[in-house]
Chain A
C-alpha cells in the first residue's frame, strides 16, 4: 500500500479525484468525520487518477461551501484541506440530522450518527443499554451472548469506542446446528426480549434489532445476531450473522471472557483476538474505517436461503412511503368504490397491503369496519395517524401483516375465522413473491370459508405497457396465470376483467385487472360462531 509524496486529492461535484494514493482515506467536513473511501476499490479511472463518486446518501447535502479535509487514516498525511464550493455554492454545507447532529456514512453505506459526534452521556446510555441487552440475553433468554464487531474491536484495539462506529452489535452462539432449530430459538429469544420490555424489529430468521431510545432523541440500534456451527459441505462450518462464515473454533467463543469498555463490563468471546481476525481479517489491528467485509459467497448464499427472504423489499417500500407516496390521492380509488357497491351494508373488510390507507379510510367512511394491514411499519403508522385525524380510529384497525411469514399469516387467518371479513387487495399481488402469494391464497381459503369474497386489482401484463411504479417493487402479472393459480388453490374466479384503471399514484393505467374470487363455504357450527350469519 502506498501514499506517494506527490499524492493529491481534488473535491468536485462528481466526487473525490485522487492521484498517487492506494490507501484508505478519511474525509471530514468542517471538522466532522463524514466518510471513508478506498480509491482503488471505490473509484474509477478519470483524468489521470481515480474518481470516487459521492455516495448517493450524501448528495442531497452537497450544496454550498465547506472546509473539506482528506487525510490518511492516522491523519498524518493530509491530501486536501481547503474550502470547497459544491452545487450552487449558496449557503453552508451541513451534513446533519433534523436536530442538527453531525452525520457520517457507516460501513454498510447508511447515513448515521457516529460515536465521535455523540456526547459522553449518550455514549454511556448506549453502553449501559448494550450491557442490559447482553444480561437479558444471557440470564433470561439463556443463550451464550457476547459483545462483538465494532464495540469489541474498539475495546480490544483501542480501549474505547471506535470514533466512526454508530451502533453496537451483540451475538449469541446457538446450541443448535440445524437452521430450522436456530430460527425457532431466535423466535423464543425475541419473545423473551419483548417480555423484558425491549422494542424490536425482526430482520431475518436469525437476527433482531433492539431499539434503544436515547436522551438526545435518537434511537440506537443494537443488533442481536445468531452464530452457529452447521455441518455443511464447502462452507463454514461456523456461521455468524451479518454474513460471516468460515473456520473458527468453538473454544474461541465459549466459555465467554470479560472485557471492559469505558468502565462497563461485557461478556466477550473466549478469545477476542481470534474472533476479530475471523470477522475483520488478519489486519484487524490496523485501523481502516473504510473496511468492508469480504464474505465467502457460498456462505452468504446459505444464510440467504436459510434465514432470509420475507422482508427483502421492506426498505424499498418504506422509502416509497416516506417520499413518492405523498402524491397518492387521499380519496378512495375507483376500485374501492366498485367493491363497496357490491357488498351488503356494514360487512367488514380487510385491506391487504393498505399502503397509505386511502381505501381503508374510504370504506370506513362508508360505514364499514376495516382491518388495514401492510408489511411496512411506515404504512401502518401512516394509516393509524390518518384514521385518528379523521376520527375513524374506532372503525380502522391498522396492523402489520407479513405475508412472507407463515406465522403472521396464520395468526390473521385464525382471527378472521371467528370474525368474518371480506378481503381486499389493490396493487398488492404484483408486489409479492411466489411464497407470499401462496400464503395469500392460504389466508383467503381459511378466512373466506363463511362465504366472503376476495377482491383483487393489479397491473396486467400486455404488449407495450410500461412497468408500474414503484419500479423494482411492483410488476405486471398475466391475469390468466393468476386465475389458474387461484383455481389451483381451490378458489373460484367469479369475475375477471382487464381494462383501463389507475396506478398506485392514481394515474391512468391502460391495462388493469379486476377480480372477484370466492372459496367453497365450509359450514361452521352456529352455536360456536354466531357471527357467521351469511350463507
Chain B
C-alpha cells in the first residue's frame, strides 16, 4: 500500500480514537451531572420539611407577624 494511503488510514483511525475518547469523557461528565440532579431530591425534601414543620407552625403562633413577613416576601418575588 502506498505511503499516502497508509497515512490517510492512520489519520482516520486517529480521528475515530479521539472521538471515542471524547465520548467516554462526555459520558463520565454526563453521569456526574445526573448524580448532581439526583442529589436535589434530598434538598427538596429538606426544604419541604422546614416549610411544613417549622414555618407553618410558626405562623400559627404569631399570625400577625407571619402575615407581615409573608407580605414582604411576596412583594419581593
Contact = CB atoms under 8 A, between A and B. Distances in A.
Interface of A: 178-181, 183-184, 187, 191, 205, 301-302, 304-307, 309-310, 405-407, 410-411, 414, 435
B39 A406 contact: no
Nearest to A404: B42
Given A180-B44, A180-B48, A181-B45, 19 more contacts: A178-B41, A179-B38, A180-B40, A183-B41, A184-B45, A184-B52, A304-B35, A305-B38, A306-B38, A306-B39, A307-B42, A309-B39, A309-B42, A405-B46, A406-B43, A406-B46, A406-B47, A407-B49, A410-B50
Nearest to A191: B53
Contact of B39 (A178, A305, A410, A411): A305
Nearest to B42: A205
B3 interface: no
16 contacts: A178-B41, A179-B45, A180-B42, A180-B44, A183-B45, A191-B53, A301-B35, A305-B35, A306-B38, A307-B42, A309-B39, A405-B46, A406-B43, A406-B47, A407-B46, A414-B54
B8 interface: no
A407 B52 CA distance: 12
Nearest to B46: A406
Contacts of B75: none
B49 to A, nearest CB: 5
B76 to A, nearest CB: 13
Determine the main DSSP class of B at the interface with A.
helix
Considering the complex of A and B, which 4 residue pairs feature the smallest CB-CB distances, nearest first? Answer: A305-B38, A183-B45, A179-B41, A406-B46
Contacts of B54: 411, 414
Contacts of B77: none
Contacts, number: 57
B45 A310 contact: no
A205 B45 contact: yes
Given A407-B50, A410-B50, A435 B39 contact: yes
A306 B49 contact: no
Contacts of A183: 41-42, 45-46
A498 to B, nearest CB: 31
Nearest to A179: B41
Nearest to B36: A305
- The size class of the interface chain B forms with chain A is 10 to 19
B2 to A, nearest CB: 48
A435 B50 CA distance: 18
B49 A305 contact: no
B1 interface: no
A406 B41 CA distance: 12
A325 to B, nearest CB: 29
A305 B42 CA distance: 9
B17 to A, nearest CB: 27
B34 interface: yes
Nearest to A410: B50
Contacts of B39: 305-306, 309, 435
A414 B39 CA distance: 24
Interface in B1-57: 34-35, 37-50, 52-54
Contacts of A306: 38-39, 41-42
Nearest to B43: A406
B39 to A, nearest CB: 6
Contacts of B47: 406
A191 B53 CA distance: 10
B32 to A, nearest CB: 10
Contacts of B52: 184
A414 B42 CA distance: 20
Interface centre among A180, A205, A307, A405 (most CB of B within 10 A): A180
B72 to A, nearest CB: 12
Contacts of B45: 179-181, 183-184, 187, 205
B49 A180 contact: no
Given A180-B41, A435-B39, A305 B48 contact: no
B38 A302 contact: yes
